[in-house]
Amino acid sequence: MSAVDRALLQAIEQAASPDQLVADRRDFHRYAESGWTEFRTSSLIARRLERLGFAVLAGRSVCAADARMGVPPASVLDAHLLRAIDQGGDPEYVEAARGGLTGVVASLDGGAGPTVALRFDIDALDLVESDAPTHRPARDGFASVNVGACHACGHDGHAAVGLGVAEVLMKLRRLLRGSVKLIFQPAEEGVRGARAIVEAGHLEDVDILIGHHLITGWGLGEIAPSMNGYAATRKFDVTFEGAAAHAGGSPEEGRNALLAAATAAIGLHALPRHRSGFTRVNVGRLEAGTGRNIVPGRALLVAEVRGESSALCDSMYERAMRVVESSASMYGCSAAVRSMGEAGTASCDPILAKRVKAVGEPWGDVTFESADRMGGSEDFTEMMRRVQSHGGLATNIGVGADFHGVLRSTLDRSSVLGGHTPTFDFDERAMALAVRLLASLTIDAMRAPGCSAEP
Amino acid sequence: MSAVDRALLQAIEQAASPDQLVADRRDFHRYAESGWTEFRTSSLIARRLERLGFAVLAGRSVCAADARMGVPPASVLDAHLLRAIDQGGDPEYVEAARGGLTGVVASLDGGAGPTVALRFDIDALDLVESDAPTHRPARDGFASVNVGACHACGHDGHAAVGLGVAEVLMKLRRLLRGSVKLIFQPAEEGVRGARAIVEAGHLEDVDILIGHHLITGWGLGEIAPSMNGYAATRKFDVTFEGAAAHAGGSPEEGRNALLAAATAAIGLHALPRHRSGFTRVNVGRLEAGTGRNIVPGRALLVAEVRGESSALCDSMYERAMRVVESSASMYGCSAAVRSMGEAGTASCDPILAKRVKAVGEPWGDVTFESADRMGGSEDFTEMMRRVQSHGGLATNIGVGADFHGVLRSTLDRSSVLGGHTPTFDFDERAMALAVRLLASLTIDAMRAPGCSAEP
Amino acid sequence: MSAVDRALLQAIEQAASPDQLVADRRDFHRYAESGWTEFRTSSLIARRLERLGFAVLAGRSVCAADARMGVPPASVLDAHLLRAIDQGGDPEYVEAARGGLTGVVASLDGGAGPTVALRFDIDALDLVESDAPTHRPARDGFASVNVGACHACGHDGHAAVGLGVAEVLMKLRRLLRGSVKLIFQPAEEGVRGARAIVEAGHLEDVDILIGHHLITGWGLGEIAPSMNGYAATRKFDVTFEGAAAHAGGSPEEGRNALLAAATAAIGLHALPRHRSGFTRVNVGRLEAGTGRNIVPGRALLVAEVRGESSALCDSMYERAMRVVESSASMYGCSAAVRSMGEAGTASCDPILAKRVKAVGEPWGDVTFESADRMGGSEDFTEMMRRVQSHGGLATNIGVGADFHGVLRSTLDRSSVLGGHTPTFDFDERAMALAVRLLASLTIDAMRAPGCSAEP
Amino acid sequence: MSAVDRALLQAIEQAASPDQLVADRRDFHRYAESGWTEFRTSSLIARRLERLGFAVLAGRSVCAADARMGVPPASVLDAHLLRAIDQGGDPEYVEAARGGLTGVVASLDGGAGPTVALRFDIDALDLVESDAPTHRPARDGFASVNVGACHACGHDGHAAVGLGVAEVLMKLRRLLRGSVKLIFQPAEEGVRGARAIVEAGHLEDVDILIGHHLITGWGLGEIAPSMNGYAATRKFDVTFEGAAAHAGGSPEEGRNALLAAATAAIGLHALPRHRSGFTRVNVGRLEAGTGRNIVPGRALLVAEVRGESSALCDSMYERAMRVVESSASMYGCSAAVRSMGEAGTASCDPILAKRVKAVGEPWGDVTFESADRMGGSEDFTEMMRRVQSHGGLATNIGVGADFHGVLRSTLDRSSVLGGHTPTFDFDERAMALAVRLLASLTIDAMRAPGCSAEP
C-alpha cells in the first residue's frame, strides 16, 4: 500500500465512526418501514444529509410518482405517515413524502470531473420479526416495533452505510475530482422503486454508478467486486371479476372467479421451459370468494415471472398474460392486471470491478469472491442499464457480512441475497468495511483512467 | 273386444309372419351397418317396399345432405358401399345412396284423411359384437360379420318391424282412411340423422307421427304408450391446432394442443350444475400428439352435452364453447368445432298415448307402463317437434322385449334404452307385438276423434 | 269458524302484543350475533322465559358440545361474550354460555298428552349490514351495531315469534293437553347447530315438532303448511400443508399448497353429475400463500356439497374427499379436513300439514302455498329426522313476509329462503300471524286425532 | 503432416470406398427399420463383418433381453421379421434376432494393448418419409419403402460408416496395438437400446470408447472432438384404468380415466423448475376413451422427463410419479407405469478429444467445433458411463454433414442432433471423412500416451 493510500485509509477511518453506523442501523431496524412507507427513515436521512451540507432532494423530486409500482393503498400510507411522526420522524420531511413519495437524493459538487452515484436501498420487508431470545435484535432491544415490517434483508445496514459514506466524503471533500450523488432508494423489495428514480432523471448525468449489498452467505472481509446474473423479473397482480351466485339455488348464474384464478395458477406453472435459459414463475398468493355457499365472484392472484435474460422474462410475461386472459374468459370473467414491480438484467462493467480490487487488495484484510449467478432479482439493474445506456459504468458490490457461522455451510453462496426470514441478522462490522470501500472507490474512480466518462 | 276389433286383429296376424320378422331381423343383424353406411340395409328395404307397392324415395331425396351430422370420411363410405354390394345389397339402390345418402321414405295413399307417419331407425353401433357362445347371435350364426358394427340397440328389430308393418298395411289397405308414410331413418345413434330427414321436408304433411323402440328393460307385453323425458343433446368434435416443437430442444416454440385439450376436458366437466334441471357433459375421447419427445401440435376431443330441456342443453353448449375457445387460446392454439349430432326434447301427445291404450287394452296380453324419465337422447324428438309445430300429434312407444331375465332386476327401467353392449339381444317375439300395435294404431288414429289434424 | 275457535283466536291476539314482537325483533336485529356467539340473544331469551314461568335450560345442557360444528376460535368467542355483556346481555346467562354454549330450551308441563316442540333459530349471518338510507333498519336506527353480523335471514323475527308464542301459551296454559317445549337453536346458518341439540337428547320425548321460517318471497298471509325438498349438505374446510420455498432461488424445494388447492377446487367442480337426482358442489373460498416470491406452503379451501337426498350428498362427499386427498398428494402436501356443518333431508308429515290448513283456513286472511322444492339446506331436518325416527310427526311451516313488493316478481319462490343480502328486511306484521298460527297449531295438535303420538 | 501420417491416411483412403459407403447407406435407408425391428439391417451387417473376418455376436448375445426398453408388441416384431426376409435380409441372422434381439457386436483381436470400442447406432424413426420430388431420397429412388419407418436422423449413415471402418481396420490390421470392438446398437431413438448392451457386459473390457454422430447443422469438414451436455432422460408410458359408464344415464358410475390423464398431463407440465439446472417434461401423446357418450374407462399417456444432470432427471421422474399416481387416485383410477427408455448424462474425456484434434488437424481439410450444450438426449452416455466407471476413456464425435445450405442459417447448432423430419438428408461425403477419422483415431488411441488404460 502506498503512503497516499495509507493516508486516505486513515482519513476515512477517522471520519466514519463504527459506533455511529451501528447506532444508525439499529435505529432504522427498530423502526422498520416497508416499501413506499419509509417516511421516518427518509426524513431522518434527508435531515442528516442536509446538516452535513449536501444538496438534498426529497418528496416529489425523488421518484416519478406514476412510475412507482406496488404502492400500498392510501389508507396504509396515511396510517404509516402518522406512525412515522409518532416515532420521531422529521415532521417537515415526513410531510414532504405524503402519499408514498419517499426516498432521498443528495448531491455534493466536487468540481470538474465525473459524477459518481452511490445507491443505498432503505426499505424493510413485510414480515413479522422473530422475538426469540436467540435473535440478537430481540435480545438487545432493537427488534422492529412495527409489527409486520422487518429489516430482514440488510437494507437497514445499507442506509447506515450511506450515511457513513456521506460523512466521510464530506470530510474528504477536497479529494474529490467530480461530483457525488447519493441515492437512497425506497421500495427495492418487490423491485418496485428503482424505475421511478430512473424516470425522475437522476441517472442521466451519472458517469459511474456503484451499488452494494451486504451478503450473509459470505464471511467478513469477503468482497465481490461485481455481482452478476440477477434474473429479470416482472411482478403482477390479477383481479378476476365474475359474478357471485347462490351455489345451491342458482349455480348456473355464477361466473366463477375462483375457478378462473385456480385455472390460471395451474396454467401459469405449466408454462413451457425455455431453451435459451432459466425461467421462473410463481403464484405467491390466491385469494378468492366470500361465503361457503356463494359462487365466488372475485379473486386475486399475486404472481411473478423471471428469466435469465430480459427477453426470456418478457416472453414468459407475454405467455402469462395469455393464460390469465384465457382463464378468465373460460369462466366468463374479466381479468385486470396490475404491474407491481419490474427489473431487467444488467452486467457489471469489468473495468469498475477491477478498480474495486485495485482499491481493496492493498488493505490485506479482504479477499475477493466471484458472484456471477446471483439468481434472485434486484432493481439496481434498472439504474445500471440507464447509466450504461449513455456510456457510463456501473457495478454492484457484494460485502460479506455473515453473522451466523452456521449459515456458511448450509447456504448456497450463489443464491443468497439476504435472508428474508424472521431471524435475519448480519455482522455489523461489515458496515465499516463497506463505508471504507465505497468511499475509497468513489475517490479512486474519479481519477482512474478508463473510469471517467469519455465515451 | 268388439267383433270389429277382433276381425282387425286377426287380419293383422295373418298378414304379418313372425318367422319373416325373425328372418329379416337376423339378416339385418348379421350385416350390421352403422350410421350413414346403411347401404345394404337401405337398399333391401327400398326394394322390398317397392315390390309391396309403396311409392319409394331413396338416395338423394331422403336426407337433406348438408343437414346430416357426423358423416364418416369418404374413404369409409366408399369401402362400405363396396361391402354392401358384396353382401347382397341391391346394386341400384346401393348406388343411389353413394356418399352416405342412406335411408328410405315410402308412401301409401289411402285416400282422404290424415297422413300417419311411422318411423323406424335402422343403423347399428360402432361396436365389436361378442363371439361368446352364450351370446345367442354368435351361437346361432347371425352375429355381425362386419367387425366393428353391431346391432346392440335393437334397430335391426325396428327395421324388421317396419317391413312387417308395411306388409300388413298394404294388405289392409282398404281399411285406411288417409295416407301412410314409412320413414326408415339412418344414423339415429349419435342423433345424427333425424334432422336431415326433417330438413328434407318429409314431416311437413304429417298429421300423426308414431315411433317405437324395443326396450330390453321391460318384459314381453309391457308397453309404454308414450316415452318422455329424453334429454336434449348436442354432440361435437373439437380439433385443437397448435404448433409442434422438439420438447427437449425448443419447448418454448410449441403451442401445446394436448394441454389445451386436457384443460378443455377438465373445464367442460367443471361446468356448473343448473337449478332448472339436470345437465350432462362428457368428453368421450381425447387424442393428442404423435411422438414422445414432440410438443403435441394437434388434438381431437369428442364430446357432448345434454340437458333436461333444450334450453338447458343450449346453455350448456354455449358455456362449453367458451371453455373450448379459452382453453385453446390459453395455449396459443386454435379450436375448430364441428357439430356431430343434435336432438332437442319433445313431449308425446297424451291424446295419442290414450289411443295406444285404447287399441291395446282389449287384447288382454299387454300391460301399460309409464316412462316419463328416459334420460338418454333420441333424435325422433326432432321429427316430433316438427310435426307438433304445425299442429300434428306424435308419440314414441316403448315395446318390452327383455331377453335376459336377469336384466330386470339389475337395470333401472327409466334409464335403459337398449344395451349398447357387445352381448345385447332381445326377445324377438316383441316384434310381432310391435307390428300388431303399430298397424292397429295407424288404422285407429285415422278414425279416432281428436287425432285427425283439424287444429 | 266455530265459536270456540273464534274465542281461542281472540285470546291469542290479546296475549300477544304486535308492538312487543316488533320491539323484540328490532332489539335482536340491532345486536345481531352470529352462530355460537348468540350470548346476549340467548341470555335475554332465557331470562324472559324464566320470568314467564318456563323451566329453562341454558348453557351446557342445551347443545352436546362436541357435536357443535363450525365453532369460531376461542378468541372470537371470548371477545363476543364481553360484547354481549356490554350490550345489555344477562350476565348470569351470558356466563353460562361461555365457550359458545348458546341456545335455550324451555319447557311447560301441560299435563297428560303429547309433547309438542317448537323450534326457533336465533343466529345472524356474517355480513355487513347496509347503511343505505333506503334500508329501513338503517333509516329507523335498528341496523346492526355489530359490524360483520347481520340478521339477513329473519332469525331475529323467529326469536321474537318464539317469545310471543311463549307468552301466549303460558297465558292459555289451561287449554294445553300435553307439554310444550320451546327450542331456541343457535348456529342454523351453515347448518351447524341442530345436530348438537339432537345429540343432547332434547328431541327424544317429542311427539310433534313444528318449525317455521319467514319467507320474503311470499306476501303477507301466504302460508306453506309444509316446506319440503331441502337439500342434504355437508360443509367442510380443508387445510393444505406443503412447504414454502423461495420461488426464484429454489423452486424445487417447495411443496405448493396453492396449486394443490387450485387442483382440488377444479377437481371438486368436475365431480360427475348423478343419475338419481341433483347434486351441488361449491368451493366458496380459497386462500393461499403469503408473499409473491414464495412458493405457497399453506392453503385453505372452504367448501360444501349438496344432494337431493342424503345418499347423494354422502356420495358427493366421499368423492370430494378423494379429490382433496389426491390433490394434496399430487403436490406433496397433506390435507386436513374439518367438518363445518351437516344436514340431511327430511319430509314433512302430511297429517301435520293438514292440521296447519285446518287451523288457518277458517281465519279467512290466509292462503296456502305449496313449497316442495326448497333447494337450499336447513338443519331443522336433523331434528325432524330424529322425531320421525321414533314415530313422531314434524313439519316446517313457511310464513309469507315479503317486504319489498319488487321481490315478488324477481325471485323464484321455490328457491328463496331469505335474502342473505345486506339489505334484507321483512314485513314485521308476519310475526303476529306466525305467533297466532304456531300457538293455535300447538293447542290443536294436542287434540287432533292422528297427531297425538300413538305409534 | 508427418510421412507416417500421410501413409496411414493414404492407406485408409484406399481401403474405404466412398461409393460403397453411399451404396450401403442408401440400402439401409431404403429398407429403414425402427428400434428393435432392425432385422434386415442387423443381419446384413453381421454377415458382412463375418465375411471380413470379425468375430461376430448377434441375436441373444448382443442385448440383455430384459434390459431392453420400449420393445414393440410381438405381433409387430413378427411382421417385421417376415418383412426383413422378404427384403433380402440374411435368413440365418434374421432368425437369430427373432423377438427383437437385434444389433451386432464384432471383435478383432489386435494383440496386446487397449480395447477400443466404436459404436454405431442403426435404427430408423417411426416417421413417414417425404415423397416430395425435392427430397433427394424420393427423387433418386432410395426413400424408405417401409411406410412409417424412415432414417431421418442419419443412423443409416452411421451403419454404413461402421462397415467402412470395419473394412479399413481389417485391412490395416497390422497397425493395431490392441483389440477393436464394433458395436452396432439397436433402438437408440427413444434411448431404449444402449443399456441392454451395457447390461450384456460388452463394455466391461473396453478401455477407449468412441461414438460419432453426423450433424446436419454443420458443414462438411466441421468436426466436434467431443459433444457434451446431453440431457439425462427417462421415458415412460402410463396406462390409467378406471371404469366406463353411460355418460347420460349413469355418469356417477364412471371412473374417468380421461380426466385422470388430463389432470396428470397438466400436473406434469406444472412441475416446478429447478435451481440447479434445466429440466424438461413432455407429454407427447394422450389417448383416452372410446365413444362420445361413454365415460372413458381407459387412457394412455406417453411422456418423458429430462434434466441437465442425472440427479435432476431422477428428481423430475420422482415428482412425475407422484403426479401420475395422484391424478389416477383423484378419479378413482389406477395407473400403471412402464419404463420406455432411459439415459443419463456423461462427459467426454478431454484427453480423447485432444487426440481427435491431433489426428485431424494435420489433414488441413477439417475445422473443429465446440459442442458443449447439445440439449437433446443420447443413450451413448450409458456406454460412456460404464467405460468411465472402470477408468476407461470415452468421447462422442460430431461430424458435419450439412446437406441443405439453408439449414445453416435457421438451425441452432447447439440443439440440432438430426432432423427427425420427413425430409431429412445429409451430405454423404461426410461418411468417408468419418471413416477416415474413426479409423485413424482408433490406431492413434492405441498408441497415444495417456489414452491406454493405465489409471
Q: Which residue has the higher pLDDT, A397 or B402?
A: A397
H/E run at residue B300: strand B298-307
pLDDT confidence of residue A216: 85
Confidence of residue A319 (pLDDT cuts 50, 70, 90): very high
Q: How confident is the model at residue B223, as a pLDDT?
A: 96
Chain A residue numbers with beta carbons less than 8 Å from the beta carbon of C291 are 126, 284-285
Q: What is the pLDDT of residue D25?
A: 98
Instruction: Please name which of D392, D413, D394, D397 lies closest in space to residue D360, comparing C-alpha atoms.
Output: D397
Is B415 at the interface with chain C, CB within 8 A? yes
- In DSSP notation, A197-262 reads HHHTTTTTT-SEEEEEEEETTS-TTEEES-B--PPEEEEEEEEEE-B-EETTT-GGG-B-HHHHHH
The amino acid present at A373, given as its one-letter code, is: R
For residues A215-237, give the mean pLDDT: 92
Residue of A nearest to B321 (CA): A330
Helix or strand run (H / E) with residue B336 = strand B334-343
D174 touches chain B (CB under 8 A): no
Give residue-wise pLDDT tens across range B359-381. 999 999 999 988 887 778 899 99
* pLDDT, tens digit (0-9, with 9 covering 90-100), for B89-118: 999 999 999 999 999 999 999 889 999 999
C269 interface with B at CB cutoff 8 Å: yes
Give the separation between CA D392 and CA D453, rounded to whole angstroms.
6
Tell me the average pLDDT across B169-182.
95
> Across the interface, do C190 and A258 touch by the CB < 8 Å criterion?
no
Region C353-378 average pLDDT: 89
Quick: pLDDT tens for C406-454: 333 333 333 333 467 888 899 999 999 999 999 999 999 998 877 764 4
- Three-state SS at B168: helix
Per the listing, cell 394412455 goes with D300
D273 touches chain A (CB under 8 A): yes
Residue linked to cell 394434496: C328
Residues 6+ apart with CB under 8 A from B86: none
Residues of chain D contacting residue B280, judged by C-beta atoms under 8 Å apart: 247-248, 251
Interface test with D, best of C250, C259, C331 (most D CBs within 10 A): C331
**Whether the predicted pLDDT of B452 surpasses 70:** no
**pLDDT tens digits, one per residue of C201-234:** 999 999 999 999 999 888 899 999 999 989 999 9
Tell me the shortest Cα–Cα distance from A319 to chain B, in angstroms. Answer: 8
Give C190's contacts in chain A (Cβ within 8 Å): 292
Residue C66 — very low, low, confident or very high, per pLDDT cuts 50/70/90? very high
Those residues whose C-beta lies under 8 Å from the C-beta of residue B446, and which sit 6 or more positions away, are B110, B113, B114, B116, B176, B177, B178, B208, B452
Using an 8 Å CB-CB cutoff, list chain B residues near C270. 266, 269-270
The average pLDDT across C377-386 equals 95
**pLDDT tens readout for residues D177-231:** 999 999 999 999 999 999 999 999 999 999 999 999 999 888 899 999 999 989 9
- Candidates D455, D440, D441, D227; CA nearest to D348 is D227
Q: Can you give the pLDDT at residue A404? A: 60
What residues pair up with A55 in beta bridges, in sequence order?
A107
Residue pLDDT, tens place only, A95-150: 999 999 999 999 999 889 999 999 999 999 998 998 988 889 999 999 999 999 99
Cβ atoms of D99 and D77 closer than 8 Å:
yes
CA nearest to C272 within chain D? D252
Interchain contact, D270 vs A269, CB within 8 Å: yes
Residue A416 has pLDDT above 60, yes or no: no
Inter-chain residue contact B283 with D296, CB threshold 8 Å: yes
Q: Do D250 and C275 touch (CB under 8 A)?
A: yes
Continuous H helices in B128-230: 136-139, 155-171, 194-199
Which whole number is the average pLDDT over C266-272? 95
Q: Is the Cβ of B284 closer than 8 Å to some Cβ of chain C?
A: no
Domains and CATH numbers, chain C: 3-230+346-451 (3.40.630.10), 232-342 (3.30.70.360)
Q: Which chains touch C (3 or more CB pairs under 8 A)?
A: A, B, D
Q: What's the pLDDT tens digit per position in D223-271? A: 999 999 899 999 999 999 999 988 888 899 999 999 999 999 999 999 9
**Which residues of B fall within a CB distance of 8 Å from A273?**
251-252
More confident residue, B15 or B221: B221
CA distance D40 to chain A (A): 38
Q: Which residue of D has its CA nearest to C275?
A: D250
Q: What is the pLDDT of residues D325-339, one digit of tens each?
A: 999 999 999 999 999
The mean of the pLDDT values for chain A is: 92
Model ipTM?
0.84
CB spacing of D288 vs B287 below 8 angstroms: yes
Tens-digit pLDDT profile for residues A48-69: 999 999 999 999 999 999 999 9
Only one residue has cell 467486486, namely A225
Cell numbers at C374, concatenated = 326448497
Residue D173's φ and ψ, nearest 5 degrees, are -45, -40
Alpha-carbon distance values, A323 to A70, A230, A319, A337, B327 (Å) = 22, 26, 6, 12, 9
Q: State the residue for C-alpha cell 431392453.
A: D68
What stretches of B308-428 show up as alpha helix (H) in DSSP? Answer: 310-330, 350-360, 380-389, 405-410
Contact C365/D at CB under 8 A: no
- Select from A233, A263, A268, A269 the residue whose CB has the most chain D CBs within 10 Å, as the one to mutate to test that interface: A269
